[in-house]
Structure 1
């Protein structure tokens, strides 16, 4: 059965009574929201008026793929349920419990926080609100959009007058581009044009500095977005300026020197407020954002070395700082490969965004593999089940969540608490973009006027291909199950190539059927291309056998995966509330209520000893209540492996021996276990 249509609200103005019935908000709030113009209530109805992807203008190089406008892809199934949990949690209520994005925000004209937190919040709130067609969340986002669009300076500058830093405006520009795609608001492009003209004239005398210098590629993305819509050649000159003044990430990784765990002394963290170049070059979020720097600049340069820079960066980060969950350690600077080190949540969502943008530019299937690895493990692994609390840092081997000073490189004792704003509030403001931008990146248009499935999750797509409206409905319980059903519904018969990403781990047994007819077996790590005349009610079925994999890591430890899902041993949890922030938001410590120091009896060349148990998939699959699948494997306790001050010692060098009795232990998806062991020592055979 094809899922019901998910459409954005049609372009119309609600009267007050209709709005109250539709939104279910209070009368007082409705009066405030009613002062908004058309844009507050409207969005482009993609089911009736699908919007094509906007391609690169000359002289920019062509992308392999192009992002579809926001609202073209709407979440369904478990993904929609997960995003609704997010909307009902901190994302949908943050302005009510956290003053930094509340009514006094500088980005609402107030005297409060006027730097990055308002823009961060809206950068995730806009796609969440419009993809869910949630009037309440749209109204919250509209507060920020209205103030920003109606308070530019005469010289073209926008944002709070008491803060002229280039960096927070880079974030708000991303929010504005998404908002314009969702609503068609005609005020966005003139504001961006005026601002970029001001920036081009001003950068020679007020150049990029600290955060903006290291995150210039985010600014460049929005300049490219605008150039593709206006063709203004002065924007190309601005791109050159940004590149000249920005940090040279490609050169940094061509001779990568930061191969050890970073310490405050190495980067002179106490000097210049921690904003030395060496501190910023080793900062985790900067590296996550910079992953797209080479691909973004390749659109301007056309150079293969810029296109290859993403792979060079990830290879170095994996080699010296890689963790089993697809991330690299950064708590908050690069921390080495020990799985007891953490990764900052900002880095998780920014790495995802970099991979999504890089996939559009490069079209390389391995990028989708890494994106899914992070999205299905590290992203949900940083939240409580109801998404009312998050961690600043998460650890793959996380045996306690408490106020301790270890093992962080440069962070403090609140770093892995679950809470409203543990440690720094940047992640509180920024985490919202993870799921919505992932949903918006599942499908892309290809340069040859086709479509590409770059990641798999249940969704519905409305777009146009060769001037023909197309609706695609994806039914799947992937990554918990191995089958993806894609319903293709063109308004009329149309010929185009459909690309289906085949993960590198899917080495055997992949099968594709079109209307029940088997297709040639595709090769792992490629895009399978189905080039044909598509008709209404065509059905594509993909089977991606979720083979078990045992992967070596730090100290020859092993981690176990099934498809894109990583598995962990769930330590029994004892939750202790530290502080309340209103009725639903609290800060928590979590203490272990069971043992955890197991060594596995596994063989990376023979996974038949690991048993798989598929169980019911609930509306919130990344939880212990309904984890979707469990693994069972042989293990022995390893008493010599201990924790000190709430932190697991580094994994002992494998192989290890133990005189303890052998037993079967249960593993669950990484994100379900809030206390967990993910990288295990291996028993000597």
Structure 2
């Protein structure tokens, strides 16, 4: 289907015409997955993201003497650094460095990034290091031993002096699972570049077909088919990485496609709905209504369980259509 939402929520238990409309400046249809819900501008802007991401991933310095990698992803660059040798060479043949860069990685679904650089002249290659990397993160240049990152304190750039020939740079961007305090005593779960969420099972309903000759140009609503009102025990969070041999599914942000997740114990709590289509703020001091179970977050505050704890799975936020990503915390 060719659809997107105009608006979405951290905690979204349905995606449909909102009743009552909670948005002060946007229409109630903003949550529907459609070809152009609420405004048509997103339909043409949406596909610009990845091309612009790739085209701005590696930048040349103003003096054309160095390259800086801003973003990580599978990409290749060929360029000439015209500033190399310009201040010392007396001939045009001595000016400029021909450079090719190949980045081999499954990032952000893997911590490993391999950068292969070929050049006919030495130059500096700078790499932006995310602030969330932990103490186990490392860089390895050629056959040298891996070492911890030592980025510039101001620019956060790690400089690598690249010699003429082939240089291989291996990065390990390991990170810790982190807990962010959110409103109402709730918590959000992060690891590296991803915000993680509970993927709510759903059913879809086609609302219309905008163009009879193209059935993918339709509007859809989604409704939850299973419970969503979970609180979690943050002390049980566990990151489940992808295996090194994992090949990524396409499209990677489909539900169930990301190869990594976070598991956590959670339980059902009393958590009310506002109107008929969206959840109220998460309950504070929540008590379980049943047993704890295992949850899985794909990439809230003190609630009482109404059941047993169960295992939940959290996945990256972007792979969910309906989700909970700001959780109540199980009352101790």
**TM-score bin, normalised by smaller chain:** 0.7 to 0.9
Q: Aligned partners of 2:35, 2:145: CA distance in 1, in Å?
A: 50
Name which of 435, 449, 459 aligns with 2:50: 435
Q: CA deviation at 1:641?
A: 3.7
Which position in structure 1 is the counterpart of 2:101? 472
Residue 620 (structure 1) aligned with residue 251 (structure 2): yes
Q: Deviations over 1:588-644 (max 9, x none)?
A: 0111111101111014xxxx6424152642132111242121221001111234353
| Alpha carbons 1:511, 1:518 under 8 Å: kept | no
Conserved 8 A contact 1:389-1:586: yes
How many residues are aligned here?
292
Q: Which residue does the alignment assign to 1:15?
A: none
> Which one of 453, 461, 479 corresponds to residue 69 of structure 2?
453
Which of residues 183, 196, 217 in structure 2 aligns to 1:554? 183
Change beyond 3 A, Cα 1:611–1:471: closer
Paired residue for 1:414? Answer: 29
CA displacement at 1:577 relative to structure 2 = 0.2
Give the whole-Å Cα distance in 2 for the aligned partners of 1:519 and 1:659.
49
Q: Structure 1 stretches of 5 or more lacking a match?
A: 1-385
Question: Which is helix-richer, 1 or 2?
Answer: 1
Q: Is the 8 A contact 2:232 2:265 kept in 1?
A: yes
In 2, Cα distance between the equivalents of 1:643 and 1:547?
35
Q: State whether structure 2 residue 219 is matched by structure 1 residue 587.
A: yes
> How far apart are residue 470 of structure 1 and its match?
0.8
CA distance in 2, matches of 1:412, 1:530: 51
> Is the 1:577–1:588 contact (alpha carbons within 8 Å) kept by the matching residues of 2?
yes
2:4 alignment partner, one of 383, 390, 396: 390
Secondary structure at 2:123 match in 1: strand
What does residue 55 of structure 1 align with? none
Contact 2:271-2:282 at 8 Å conserved across structures: no
Structure 2: state its 5+ residue gaps: 85-95, 285-300
Match for residue 482 of structure 1? 111
Mean CA deviation greater in 628-637 or 656-665: 656-665
> Contact conserved, 2:137 with 2:173, CA < 8 A, in 1?
yes
Give the direction of change, closer, same or farther, for the CA distance of 1:515–1:570 in structure 2 (3 Å limit).
same
Higher strand fraction (1 or 2): 2
Partner residue of 1:674? 321
TM-score after normalising by structure 1: 0.41
Q: CA RMSD in A?
A: 1.8
Q: Does 1:400 align with 2:14?
A: yes
Q: CA 1:523/1:595 → structure 2, altered by over 3 Å: closer, same or farther?
A: farther
Query: C-alpha deviations, 1:503-556, integer Å up to 9, x for none?
Result: 111031121111131355224772111124x23331110111132111112223
Aligned to 1:647: 278
Using the alignment, how far apart are the partners of 1:611 and 1:547 within structure 2?
A: 9
Q: How far apart, CA to CA, are the structure 2 residues paired with 1:528 and 1:518?
A: 16
- Tell me how far apart the structure 2 counterparts of residues 487 and 611 of structure 1 sit (CA, whole Å): 29
Contact 2:177 2:239 in 1 (8 A): no
Q: Is the 8 A contact 2:69 2:126 kept in 1?
A: yes
Deviations 1:326-383 (A, max 9, x none): xxxxxxxxxxxxxxxxxxxxxxxxxxxxxxxxxxxxxxxxxxxxxxxxxxxxxxxxxx
| C-alpha displacement of 1:651 | 2.2
- d(CA) in 2 for partners of 1:447, 1:626: 40
1:432, distance to aligned residue in structure 2 (A): 2.6
Which of residues 146, 152, 157 in structure 2 aligns to 1:527?
157
Conserved? CA contact 1:406–1:645, under 8 Å: no
Q: 1:79 maps to what in 2?
A: none
Q: In 1, Cα distance between the equivalents of 2:124 and 2:147?
A: 15
Find the aligned partners of 1:611 and 1:471 in 2 and give their Cα distance: 35
Q: Which runs of 4+ in 1 moved over 6 A?
A: none
What is the alpha-carbon distance in structure 2 between the residues aligned to residue 635 and residue 597 of structure 1?
Answer: 10
- The CA distance in 1 between the partners of 2:276 and 2:158, in whole Å, is 50
Contact 2:109 2:259 in 1 (8 A): yes
- Tell me, yes or no, if the aligned pair for 2:135 and 2:148 is still in contact at 8 Å: no
Q: Quick one: distance in 2 between partners of 1:647 and 1:614?
A: 33
| 2:126 maps to which of 480, 489, 499 | 499
Return closer, same or farther for 1:649/1:507 CA change in 2, 3 Å cut-off: same
- What's 1:185 paired with? none
2:225 and 2:44 mapped to 1: Cα distance? 32
Q: Deviations over 1:556-602 (max 9, x none)?
A: 31111121011110111110001112322110011111110111101
CA contact (8 A) 2:116 2:167 kept: yes
Q: Name the CA distance, whole Å, in 1 between partners of 2:274 and 2:39.
A: 26
- 1:475 and 1:486 in contact (8 A); partners too: yes
What are the within-5 Å matches in structure 2 for residues 565-604 of structure 1?
Answer: 565-582=194-211, 583=214, 584-603=216-235
Check whether the contact 2:203–2:222 (CA below 8 A) recurs between aligned residues: yes
Residue correspondence of structure 1 range 351-370 to structure 2 within 5 A: none
1:30-429, aligned counterparts within 5 Å?
388-404=2-18, 405-429=20-44
